[in-house]
Amino acid sequence: MRGTGGGQLQGKRIIVTGGAQGMGASSVRAFAREGATVVAMDLQAQQGTAAAERIAKETGGDVAFLAADVSDRAQVFDAVSEAAQRMGGLDVLVNVAGVQRAKPAEDLTEEDFDFLLNINLRGTFYTNQAAFVAMKPAGSGAIINFGSDSGMTAIRGLGGYSATKGGVHAWTRTVALEFAAHGVRVNTVVPAMKTPMTESGQADGRGNVYAKTPLGGALGDPDRDLAPVMVFLAGDGSRFITGQTISVNGGLGMVR
């Protein structure tokens, strides 16, 4: 099924991981408003289903939900295949799903590393691979990964997280080069947004890892500050952009 009504993304078929809340849900909402057909994915099935139903009602868009664990390769490939079949193809993948643990580097455990690597890095590998398989026959598509300022510069207490996000940045550049021959673009977004993850960090004493942004001091609002950029990167206006890091972070970290 395709989205109904007008909009910048009319007819686009989009998957968003981490779509149950925060930046993922905000992206799903923005895409639906712009006419796209969207399948949200998340490990939190009840929350994800409720979010998809709420967004569909708010926007009048075609929004569905599939439960999937991005750290499980088989689940990812099955879910992406099911979503692509439902929508009649796949034009855009947005991989928002991610986790964070803030600890001094010497205190990180094997379990901490596994948790961060499995979701942040393996999740990016698997979702990108599965999306490319779905996009390759059509010779076009866009993949948007989520990086972090901590993947480009040192932020105290985020050693494990920064290692995984640095990996996301490096992976994105490589697959952007490889996938370009098949018309598939891959870019990384670096956000500094107010989300449930950043709020929980402030609540448990990790607020000091989030420096004040030059533009207004506070973290951004996902709907107002991030969503328009996501719509642009998912649309045809960004057709000549690939392998890039796009920071939507109020100047918290300046890429170049």
Residue 72, sorted as left (phi over 0), alpha (psi -120 to 50) or beta, turns out to be beta
Residue of 105, 104, 172, 90 lying closest to 139 (CA atoms) = 90
CA distance 173 to 199: 30
Side chain identity at residue 55, one-letter code? I
Helices (H), the chain: 22-33, 45-59, 73-87, 110-116, 123-135, 159-179, 196-203, 227-234
The percent helix, strand, coil of the chain (3-state, each to 5) is 50, 20, 30
Of the residues 65, 77, 161, 171, only one is catalytic, namely 161
- Catalytic (active site) residue 126: no
Residue of 1, 65, 59 lying closest to 31 (CA atoms) = 59
Spatial neighbors of 115 by CB under 8 A, at least 6 apart, are 99, 101
Residues 70 and 95: beta-carbon distance below 8 Å: yes
Tokens of 19: 């779509």
Q: Which residues are known catalytic residues?
A: 161
